[in-house]
């Protein structure tokens, strides 16, 4: 009797929803690891390689500079370019000069970390386009539907990957690129008699910038929802070339509105439609809102700190804009429709 009981199979309880969702996220990461992980990492590495080449060329140029070429210092003395000593230059910096240096270092760090973000925009765009189309194309959707997974869970995992996982990985790659750039810059400074801590690490704010760009991810996740919703809707609906559907429908709608002055019926011009409809459907994956552009336009490099542009109060002020939440609501509606389409639509 005991032997018989021991040989009986033990029924396993189905995986809880809180366990299924991390598995779905892991699935998305491993299936798209090239775009999610390696693309921003390689982009950052290429930018560092180009930076290193530029530094070598600059060092050779300084070494081969004409001995008559000089730099005029604030105390009236001159220094030969050929014998450039950054330590002596640092002693001549006034308080205002140091403030401008700090802002310049922060701006340089942000520019150095831009490449992973540029790649991220394309990765997010094409990931969303293929998220629901590719599984129908290769018929893998039949396998995933045979599992105890709802369409809502599957679509939500893809949305989370697009709006949070991809930006998080790209941001970490950007931060790593930024610190590697500062190390290269430190070597360049030391090679010319400067103190990297005094000229780079102390004036700049690398750790604050890193924390700020990480804190900005949820804001731009909300901003991206209309584009993510539209692209996934096209991915779920189109039987072929979802890229053309996603691109041509908004653009041709904008052309139609412009040609026939449709927006005049609402006392608006065609530019409003292009900016608030077409751009929101196609460019939401770019982590730069209209409110951000307005803040950048009012930025004074001579008076304002570069940190103000990426600080949480500045970035999170986007959430006070009605445009953010209207776009998010529209994006969620399109995602719900994409979920319904995935439930019954397949190829053949």
Model confidence over 101-111: pLDDT tens digits? 778 888 889 99
Q: Taking the chain, what is the end-to-end CA distance rounded to the nearest angstrom?
A: 53
Size of the chain in residues: 348
Is 285 exposed, middle or buried (CB count within 10 Å of its CB: 0-12, 13-18, 19+)?
buried
DSSP 204: S
Q: Is the dihedral of CA 38, 44, 48, 50 positive or negative?
A: positive
Q: At what angle do helices 114-130 and 242-259 cross, to 10 degrees?
A: 100
What's the pTM value of the predicted model, to 2 decimals?
Answer: 0.86
Q: Is the dihedral of CA 259, 262, 264, 269 positive or negative?
A: negative
Model confidence over 134-161: pLDDT tens digits? 887 766 655 555 566 788 889 999 999 9
Among left, alpha and beta (phi > 0; psi -120 to 50; other), residue 112 is: alpha
| pLDDT for 96 beyond 90 | no
What are φ and ψ of residue 342, in 5° steps? -65, -25
C-alpha closest to that of 190 among 84, 54, 51:
84
Model confidence over 42-80: pLDDT tens digits? 999 999 999 999 988 887 876 765 454 444 545 444 444
- Kindly report which listed range (73-87, 120-134, 199-213) carries the lowest average pLDDT score: 73-87
Instruction: Tell me which H or E stretch contains 70.
Output: strand 70-72
C-alpha closest to that of 158 among 27, 307, 254, 16:
27
| pLDDT for 213 beyond 60 | yes
């Amino acid at each position: 009797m005991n032997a018989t009981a021991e040989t009986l199979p033990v029924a396993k309880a189905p995986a809880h929803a809180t366990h299924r969702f991390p598995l779905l996220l892991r699935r998305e990461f491993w299936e798209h690891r090239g775009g999610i992980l390696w693309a921003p990492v390689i982009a950052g590495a290429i930018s560092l390689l180009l930076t290193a080449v530029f530094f070598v060329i600059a060092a050779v140029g300084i070494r081969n500079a004409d001995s008559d070429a000089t730099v005029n210092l604030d105390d009236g003395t001159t220094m030969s370019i050929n014998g450039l000593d950054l330590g002596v230059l640092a002693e001549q910096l006034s308080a205002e000069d140091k403030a401008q240096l700090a802002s310049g270092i922060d701006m340089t760090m942000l520019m150095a970390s831009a490449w992973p973000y540029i790649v991220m925009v394309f990765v997010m765009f094409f990931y969303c386009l293929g998220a629901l189309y590719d599984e129908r194309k290769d018929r893998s959707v039949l396998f995933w539907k045979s599992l105890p997974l709802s369409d809502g869970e599957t679509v939500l995992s893809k949305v989370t990957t697009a709006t949070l996982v991809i930006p998080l990985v790209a941001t970490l790659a950007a931060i790593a690129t930024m610190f590697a750039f500062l190390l290269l810059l430190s070597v360049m400074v030391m090679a010319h008699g400067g103190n990297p801590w005094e000229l780079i690490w102390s004036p700049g704010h690398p750790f604050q910038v890193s924390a700020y760009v990480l804190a900005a991810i949820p804001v731009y996740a909300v901003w991206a929802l209309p584009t993510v919703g539209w692209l996934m809707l096209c991915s779920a609906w189109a039987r072929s070339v979802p890229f053309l559907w996603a691109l041509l429908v908004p653009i041709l709608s904008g052309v139609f509105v412009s040609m026939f002055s449709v927006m005049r019926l609402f006392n608006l011009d065609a530019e409003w439609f292009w900016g608030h409809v077409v751009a929101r459907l196609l460019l939401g994956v770019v982590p730069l809102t209209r409110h951000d552009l307005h803040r950048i336009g009012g930025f004074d490099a001579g008076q304002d700190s570069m940190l103000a542009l990426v600080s949480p109060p500045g970035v999170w002020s986007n959430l006070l804009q009605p445009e953010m939440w209207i776009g998010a609501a529209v994006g969620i509606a399109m995602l719900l429709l994409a979920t319904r389409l995935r439930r019954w639509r397949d190829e053949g």
